[in-house]
């Protein structure tokens, strides 16, 4: 119940629905109270603004326990809100049906930013066929940069609007193995900035371990070589960049949508601490 207690009602709803699915498959459970599941699910839907669903689960709760006084009051309360202020209390999820079910281009247009993120996590959005011709591959040498003339960057256009490019084959297997070898001993639980305290603290929305590498960690010169390669294909200097960060997300690790740059321009008085311009990310997948 951690997600429920931490008021992460979207995931609390998902876990309650999974509990219902398992109960339906496995039959009666002596350790799980069905009314309790409906109760938590109803409250989660209410907090998400889905009053029709909240009322639905409360009615199911009453079918299981007709004498539950609070459930009786809640049904009346939900129905009154739906009747008197439907435009305020009926969330789009209520009209769209179960989240992620029957998504269309039109329904995606009405999604919030967080809902779009969740939808993309469930799988890629299909691109219209007319954009197929724009999804191409090419070699890039950054205006004949000497190192890239010999070994140009492989570029794939993966999305049309906005234009998103995937650079392939940037690091060799040996280079990636070396980074893991160097970072392994220094990996620690990643933190995020607490808006209230201003301190870097562990957060439930960032589940990973990370470590930072510079040339001083690597007498063999792999980190320096990678930095030079980044400079070559971006045309930017690494002198004002952060150290190379290695992140291990493990199983189930994630980092929810967040600002990856400072939003208060006035706080940046030193060029070395200026607002972040870009990120360079190299994912490595394991079978």
282 and 220 both lie in a single domain? yes
Q: List beta partners, residue 246.
A: 211
140 and 186 both lie in a single domain? no
Q: What is the pLDDT of residue 102?
A: 47
160 and 181 both lie in a single domain? no
**Is residue 95 included in any domain, yes or no?**
no
Q: What is the pLDDT of residue 5?
A: 77
278 and 180 both lie in a single domain? yes
**Is residue 116 included in any domain, yes or no?**
no
User: Residue holding tokens 């329904």?
Assistant: 107
* Domain end among 169, 195, 222: 169
CA–CA distance, 185 with 180 (Å, rounded to integer): 9
Collapse the DSSP code of 239 into the 3-class scheme (helix H, G, I; strand E, B; otherwise coil) and give the result. Answer: coil
Q: Which domain holds residue 28?
A: 2-90
**Is residue 107 included in any domain, yes or no?**
no
CA–CA distance, 213 with 146 (Å, rounded to integer): 26
184 and 269 both lie in a single domain? yes
**Is residue 74 included in any domain, yes or no?**
yes
The total number of structural domains in the chain stands at: 3
136 and 218 both lie in a single domain? no
- Strand-by-strand arrangement of the 188-189 sheet: 188-189, 209-213, 244-248
Give the CATH number, domain containing residue 57: 1.25.40.10
* Domain end among 141, 169, 197: 169
Q: What is the pLDDT of residue 244?
A: 94
SS3 breakdown of the chain: % helix, strand, coil, rounded to 5? 50, 15, 40
**Is residue 122 included in any domain, yes or no?**
no
Q: What is the pLDDT of residue 108?
A: 56
**pTM for this one?**
0.63
* Domain end among 118, 147, 169: 169
Digitized pLDDT (tens) for each residue of the chain, 287 residues in all: 566 777 788 888 988 998 888 888 877 666 788 899 999 999 999 988 888 999 999 999 999 889 999 999 999 999 998 888 877 665 545 554 454 444 555 555 567 787 788 778 777 777 788 888 889 999 999 999 999 999 999 999 998 888 899 999 999 999 999 999 999 999 999 998 887 888 889 888 888 999 999 999 999 999 999 999 999 999 999 988 889 999 999 887 888 887 776 655 555 555 455 567 788 888 876 54
**Is residue 282 included in any domain, yes or no?**
yes
**Is residue 98 included in any domain, yes or no?**
no
Q: What is the pLDDT of residue 33?
A: 86
229 and 245 both lie in a single domain? yes
70 and 158 both lie in a single domain? no
**Is residue 267 included in any domain, yes or no?**
yes
Q: What is the pLDDT of residue 223?
A: 96
184 and 285 both lie in a single domain? yes
195 and 270 both lie in a single domain? yes
Q: What is the pLDDT of residue 90?
A: 58
Environment class of residue 196 by beta-carbon count within 10 Å: exposed (0-12), middle (13-18) or buried (19+)?
exposed
Backbone φ and ψ for 43, nearest 5 degrees, come out as: -65, -40
209 and 273 both lie in a single domain? yes
208 and 188 both lie in a single domain? yes
């Amino acid at each position: 119940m951690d997600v429920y207690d931490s008021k992460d009602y979207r995931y609390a709803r998902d876990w309650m629905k999974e509990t219902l699915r398992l109960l339906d498959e496995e039959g009666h459970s002596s350790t799980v109270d069905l009314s309790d599941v409906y109760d938590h699910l109803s409250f989660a839907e209410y907090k998400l603004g889905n009053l029709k669903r909240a009322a639905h689960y409360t009615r199911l709760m009453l079918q299981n326990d007709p004498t539950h006084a609070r459930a009786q009051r809640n049904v009346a309360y939900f129905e009154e809100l739906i009747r008197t202020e439907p435009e305020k209390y009926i969330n789009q999820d209520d009209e769209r049906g179960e989240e992620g079910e029957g998504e269309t281009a039109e329904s995606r247009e009405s999604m919030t930013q967080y809902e779009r993120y969740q939808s993309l996590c469930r799988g890629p959005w299909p691109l219209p066929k007319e954009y197929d011709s724009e999804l191409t591959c090419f070699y890039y040498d950054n205006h004949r940069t000497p190192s890239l003339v010999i070994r140009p960057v492989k570029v794939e256009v993966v999305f049309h609007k906005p234009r998103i490019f995937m650079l392939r084959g940037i690091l060799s297997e040996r280079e990636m193995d070396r980074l893991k070898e160097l970072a392994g001993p220094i990996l620690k639980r990643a933190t995020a900035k607490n808006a209230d305290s201003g301190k870097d603290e562990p957060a439930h929305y960032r589940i990973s371990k990370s470590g930072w590498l510079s040339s001083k960690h690597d007498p063999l010169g792999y980190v320096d070589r990678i930095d030079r390669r980044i400079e070559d294909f971006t045309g930017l200097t690494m002198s004002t960049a952060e150290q190379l960060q290695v992140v291990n997300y493990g199983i189930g690790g994630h980092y929810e949508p967040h600002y990856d740059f400072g939003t208060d321009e006035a706080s940046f008085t030193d060029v070395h601490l200026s607002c972040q311009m870009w990120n360079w990310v190299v994912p490595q997948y394991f079978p």
